[in-house]
Amino acid sequence: MFIAIEGCIGSGKTTLVQLLAKRIKAKALLEATKKHPFIKDFYLKPQDYAFQTEMNFILIHSHQLQKATQANWFDGIVISDFLFDKDFLFASLTLHKPLEINLFQKTFNFLKNKIPEPDLVIYLKAPVEFLYERIRKRGRDFEKNIPFNYVKNLNKKYDHYFNSFSKNRLISFDATNLDWSKNEYANKKMIINNVAKKIEVKLKAQKIY
């Protein structure tokens, strides 16, 4: 069983994956962003490093998923903090040259055919102001130059994509409820249990769980 958690930058994907993995006894597959060689340069000069950035992301993500497959992770329960399709959303925002767009699409399609599709996706939906504040507060060095409008436009891409996503495989969740700094332990536990129950109901409807 494969569950992916997605949402715009700052929505709280990684923390939720780590907490849910413990709750449902799953392996946590976390995005290897730190391995990306161009991400810091991209936020400084997006027009110069967009193509290298997007191509590296699909290679990193596909490698992670293929490696997990080869290690038989998907014989059990896996929960990840990324969906491979996210890379297409980012690229549709950052790539503008026809040759680069074409090459990206061909590579994306080729790699997508080699990786597993999630049985269920949890979309963490949030207003852009909340996301941008979360990004600012967590203080990652490579994110300090992210423009507000970039996050705003990316968030719109996410909303549009998940508005047409298969409802049988989707749970939408208000990411503003995942602001752990404002929640005591009891509330955190309640939220995780609530998400876990939503997963169980959705998977039972698919006759997976």
| List of residues 6+ apart from 158 with CB closer than 8 A | 6, 7, 8, 89, 123, 125
Tokens of 142: 């490579």
State the number of CA atoms in the 13 A half-sphere of 135 facing the CB: 22
Q: How far apart are CA 26 and CA 174, in angstroms?
A: 22
Q: How far is CA 159 from CA 7, 163, 204, in A?
A: 9, 6, 26
Q: Are 19 and 192 in contact (CB under 8 A)?
A: yes
Q: How far apart are CA 105 and CA 113, in angstroms?
A: 12
170 forms beta bridges with 121
Cα–Cα nearest to 122, from 186, 78, 79: 79
User: Which residue in 81, 119, 159, 179 is the catalytic one?
Assistant: 81
How much is the CA Rg of the chain, to the nearest whole Å?
17
Note if 81 is an active site residue. Answer: yes
Catalytic residues: 81
